[in-house]
């Protein structure tokens, strides 16, 4: 009995140590960003476009461009990912082919983002003649996050008890009515979790937009989906490595703004997830 308590104590101590190893660096990074970037944060900094060869001004154009890209990416990726997950979970005949498809989807989630960038450039910019544009960039990012959304959504759908489906079918509902009115509402928290992960990745990616949409400097906001745009990840890279005269407070402020946008999107989506989880029947 005593030996078991000792083993349990050692196991929990190792787990706490692992948590500290993961959490402490994250907290340290956030602290450094706030410490060095907060001095640059102001309404003028947020609402002013970059100027002076990116050594002056603010972040209006990169922020708007990032929001354009993230919004369109989710608009493209979420319906397609959700429909794919519904098919794999509810309609597909389970067998070797479906297992291969699932394995391919999981493997796609681990493909380096620069490969997606080259793919998007070749297909959307050259083959489909979209050129470097917001539309091409958002479609490339949508393909990038699609595997994450499919996997998370399918797991959420599979987690809904089978008894819910059987009860709905027994009451005379069709397969689609059961999926739409019973399974989906109960799986929404998990689906939103997948969307959150996708949003976070899309907002912070640099390589895919480098090939398909991003501009180093623009004077005005984009006027259509076929225009280029600035984006915070690439703007941060640009002023940090390609603009030697860029003030440090602007560099840190840009990094902090990107962090705040990513965290803000996650918090907003988390509140939505909690709301649907409260209404879940199990």
Domains of the chain are 41-278 (1.10.3720.10)
Q: At what angle do helices 60-86 and 232-241 cross, to 10 degrees?
A: 130
Strand, coil or helix: 282: coil
pLDDT > 70: percent of the chain: 97
CA atoms within a 13 Å half-sphere pointing along the CA-CB vector of 49: 14
Structure pTM? 0.86
Read off the pLDDT of residues 145-204 as tens digits, 9 standing for 90 and up: 999 999 989 988 998 888 888 888 888 888 888 888 888 888 888 888 888 878 888 888
How big is the chain, counted in residues?
282
DSSP 18-55: HHHHHHHHHHHHHHHHHHHHGGG-SHHHHHS-EETTTT
Q: Model confidence over 223-262: pLDDT tens digits?
A: 888 999 999 999 998 888 888 888 888 889 999 998 888 8
Give pLDDT, residue 146.
Answer: 92
pLDDT at 124: 93
Residue with token string 């027994």: 170
Note the pLDDT tens digit of each residue in 12-24: 889 889 988 888 9
pLDDT tens, 98-151? 889 888 998 888 888 899 999 999 999 999 998 899 999 999 999 999 999 999
Q: What SS3 string covers 71-83?
A: HHHHHHHHHHHHH
Helix or strand or coil: residue 175?
A: helix
Supply 90's token pair: 């509810």
Beta 50-51 vs 56-57: how paired, if at all?
antiparallel
pLDDT tens, position by position, 270-280: 777 777 777 66
Q: Which residues contact 170 (CB under 8 A, 6 or more apart)?
A: none
| Structure confidence at residue 282 (pLDDT) | 59
Whether the Cβ atoms of residue 211 and residue 51 lie closer than 8 Å to each other: no
Q: Express the helix, strand and coil content of the chain in percent, nearest 5 each.
A: 75, 0, 20
Burial classification of residue 96, based on how many CB atoms lie within 10 Å of its CB (0-12 exposed, 13-18 middle, 19 or more buried): exposed
């Amino acid at each position: 009995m005593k030996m078991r308590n000792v083993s349990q104590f050692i196991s929990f101590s190792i787990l706490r140590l692992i948590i500290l190893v993961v959490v402490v660096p994250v907290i340290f990074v956030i602290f450094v960003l706030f410490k060095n970037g907060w001095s640059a944060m102001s309404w003028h900094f947020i609402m002013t476009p970059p100027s002076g060869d990116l050594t002056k001004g603010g972040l209006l154009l990169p922020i708007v461009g990032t929001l354009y890209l993230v919004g369109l990416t989710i608009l493209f990726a979420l319906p397609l990912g959700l429909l794919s997950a519904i098919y794999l979970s509810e309609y597909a005949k389970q067998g070797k082919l479906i297992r291969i498809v699932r394995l391919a989807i999981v493997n796609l989630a681990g493909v380096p983002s620069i490969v997606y960038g080259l793919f998007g450039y070749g297909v959307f910019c050259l083959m489909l003649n979209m050129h470097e544009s917001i539309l091409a960039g958002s479609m490339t990012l949508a393909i990038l996050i699609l595997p994450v959304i499919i996997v998370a959504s399918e797991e959420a759908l599979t987690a809904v008890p089978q008894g819910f489906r059987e009860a709905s079918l027994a009451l005379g509902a069709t397969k689609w009515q059961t999926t739409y009115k019973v399974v989906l509402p109960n799986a929404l928290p998990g689906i939103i979790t997948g969307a959150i992960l996708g949003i976070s990745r899309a907002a912070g990616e640099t390589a895919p937009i480098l090939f398909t949409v991003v501009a180093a400097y623009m004077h005005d906001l984009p006027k259509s989906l076929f225009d280029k745009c600035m984006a915070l990840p690439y703007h941060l890279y640009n002023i940090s490595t390609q603009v030697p005269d860029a003030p440090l407070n602007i560099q840190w402020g840009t990094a902090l703004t990107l962090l705040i946008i990513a965290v803000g999107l996650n918090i907003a989506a988390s509140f939505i997830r909690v709301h649907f989880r409260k209404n879940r029947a199990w």
